[in-house]
Amino acid sequence: MYRKSLTAVLATSVLFLGCQDYGFEELPRSVIKEKRWSQTISVSSSADILFVVDNSGSMGGEQEQLGRSFSRFTQVLKEKFGDVFHIAVVTTGMESAACPACSTVITKSCINDTGENGRFQDRKGHITWTAGTPVFDFVTDESCRVVNNDNTNCFYDTGQERGTALVGINGCGFERGLAPLKYALGNLQSSYNAGFLRKDATLAVIVIADEDDCGEVGDVYEMTSDGGNVCYFASKGVGPEPGNPNYTPMTYHPDDPNQRPYELTPVEDYYDFLVNDVKNGRKGMVKFAAIVGMVDKNDPSTTTIEYEWGARNRWEITNACTTPAPGCTGDYCFAEPGTRYIKLAQLFGIGQNAFVDTICQSDFSDTMEALGSFVACPREFKLSEPPLDPGLASILINGEEVPLYSCSVIVGDKLKACSQDSDCAQGSCVLTWIYCADAGSAPAPECAGLDFTNAAGGIIIFADHYDPCELITEGEVHIEFVYVPKD
């Protein structure tokens, strides 16, 4: 009965109500604490989707499983956007002191000539397994830098099991997933990456990584015995003294001759870049997704950086989760906390303009399908807190109240309000929108199967005959949920 998509991009805020008549005003004044949950929806019929894929040595198993699931993602895009979507892929590699350019001498943890430093991938990768070790080979095709409906096999070809989404595992061990955004969507748009960004298309950035972001090149001193762990020290802002099992907080790494403080380029800088520099302040035109190491995807705030003394006689980062991907054995079958990616998702609004999921899973099919719907606009509207009485709540679209019941057949472009026992000239009198408190909410089956992750206050869905985003082909729709909070 209810739609699986809304062609929109969402941004969330909570405001106090002004003066207007609503059903809950009949309640005793002592219990009225009116609030208005709102989303500004920028409607777009096209999408530019940038994947940032970790190509460090621990990503072999995850990439294979992701590859097998990508067809679900492109299938949803075709259903929602037809032939007006773009896909491009970059890696987490940026050239630096510990990650120089590749050569015949340097073959590991190096930066390739293509597909790194923010350049779009044009190498279609393929994985084979030898004695439990993933081996990649690549075929270069410059036409694959920007993928559209005509060449989705560039992204991933299910028949050949090859595509730009498979980026290999010889990349930089100092993973930087956010710095490439500024290169890929900045100056490179007029040269190497030309033809990707469109002014009025939704921009979706999807990061897939099993380690955290290490900021900009130069944020940390890389030539230490701690390797990439120094990125976590800098992300947390304090690190233990290497070699000392008695935790002694350090504000800079003792090997760093410049004694630079433990800090990384603020995540807010990347938010500002995406929203203000790329989309000229149009918040609703940007979506961000993070498939990273998490302790609990239902509560991303529980994912934090913690230290433990490891078997290698040095401080290690406590793993966020264990990777169950087939073929994954040994030291790399885990993911470390993706705290900076989670923080960026929180800035965009998890459950609204941001999507999060764990990389610790053996089958990404459901995740890819959910991502496709998220980019095309989600099926549901997730609330941060529950209403006291959903029956007394109201929904406004661009300032106009949406009737709780309406005729299921729209004549022209008019929605006709009705009561439960009234007749409609065409169709029947049905709910225009429904509130679902949880997966078992009545009326079934509309609430069954919904993903209540990051929906502590429940979910609102609209009926098939009323998609608020079809009111406007390009522009903005403002949705407001007027309610009394439960607590």
pLDDT(437) > 50: yes
User: Which residues lie closer than 8 Å to 333 by C-beta, 6 or more apart?
Assistant: 61, 322, 323, 324, 325
Whether residue 98 is found in the same domain as residue 230: yes
- What average pLDDT does this structure show over 269-286? 92
Question: Tell me, what amino acid is at 133?
Answer: T
Please give the pLDDT value at position 135. 87
- Report pLDDT digits (tens) over 366-376: 888 888 878 87
Residue 243 — pLDDT band, cuts 50, 70, 90? low
Q: Are residues 361 and 419 in the same domain?
A: no
Query: Does 351 lie in the same domain as 250?
Result: yes
The whole-angstrom distance between residue 95's C-alpha and the CA centroid of its chain comes to 25
Instruction: Judge whether 205 lies within some domain.
Output: yes
Last residue of a domain, one of 310, 341, 376: 376
User: Is residue 3 domain-resident?
Assistant: no
pLDDT score for 14: 28
Asked whether residue 127 falls in the same domain as residue 201, the answer is yes
Confidence at residue 439, expressed as pLDDT on a 0 to 100 scale: 67
129-176 pLDDT, tens digit per residue, is 887 778 899 999 999 999 998 898 999 998 999 999 999 888 898 999
Closest by alpha carbon to 145, among 180, 118, 172, 112? 118
Q: How much is the average pLDDT of 402-424?
A: 83
Question: DSSP assignment of 26-83, as one string?
Answer: GS-GGG---EEEEEEEEE-S-EEEEEEE--STT-HHHHHHHHHHHHHHHHHHHHHHTT
Q: What is the pLDDT of residues 465-476, one digit of tens each?
A: 887 666 555 556
Q: Contact 210/291 with Cβ under 8 angstroms?
A: no
Provide the pairing of β-strand 47-53 with 85-91.
parallel
Instruction: Name the most confidently modeled range: 18-27, 201-210, 221-230, 336-345.
Output: 336-345
Statement: residue 30 has pLDDT above 60: no
Verify that 416 and 281 share a domain, yes or no.
Answer: no
Band the pLDDT of 3: cuts 50, 70, 90: very low
Percent of the chain's residues with pLDDT above 70:
83
Residue range 196-206: mean pLDDT, rounded: 91
State whether 273 and 411 are in the same domain.
no
Q: Which among 310, 343, 376 is the end of a domain?
A: 376
| pLDDT higher than 80, residue 306 | yes
Residue 486 has pLDDT above 50, yes or no: yes
**Which is nearest to 54 in space by CA: 139, 167, 220, 202?**
167
26: containing domain: 12-43+383-483
Query: Do the domain assignments include residue 172?
Result: yes
pLDDT at 4: 31
418 in a structural domain: yes
- Mean pLDDT, rounded, of the chain: 81
255 touches 239 (CB < 8 A): no
Ranges 110-124, 233-247, 303-317, 438-452: which has the least confidence = 438-452
Phi, psi (rounded to 5 degrees) for 293:
-70, 125
Which of 245-254, 320-329, 410-419 has the highest average model confidence (pLDDT)? 410-419
The answer to whether residues 249 and 238 touch, using CB atoms and an 8 Å cutoff, is yes
The number of helix segments (H) and strand segments (E) in the chain equals 7, 24
272 in a domain, yes or no?
A: yes
User: What pLDDT was estimated at residue 245?
Assistant: 59
In this structure, are 311 and 404 located in the same domain?
no
The residue among 473 and 228 whose pLDDT is bigger is: 228
Query: Does some domain include residue 446?
Result: yes
Looking at the structure of the chain, the number of domains it has is 2
Residue 6 lies in a domain: no
The model's confidence at residue 481, banded by pLDDT at 50, 70 and 90, is confident
Say if residue 123's pLDDT is above 90.
Answer: yes
440 and 352 in a common domain: no
- The whole-angstrom distance between residue 68's C-alpha and the CA centroid of its chain comes to 19
Same domain for 136 and 228?
yes
CATH number of the structural domain spanning residue 360: 3.40.50.410
Question: How much is the pLDDT for 450?
Answer: 77
- Both 24 and 78 in one domain: the answer is no
**Residue-level pLDDT at 378:** 55
| Domain endpoint, select from 355, 376, 397 | 376
Query: What's the rounded Cα separation, in Å, for the pair 185 and 203?
Result: 10
- Residue 332 confidence (pLDDT): 63
The answer on 140 and 286 residing in a single domain is yes
For residues 68 and 291, which has the higher predicted lDDT (pLDDT)?
Answer: 291
Is residue 1 in some structural domain? Answer: no
Q: What is the pLDDT of residue 331?
A: 58
pLDDT in tens, 307-323: 988 777 778 899 999 87
Residues 402, 280 share a domain: no
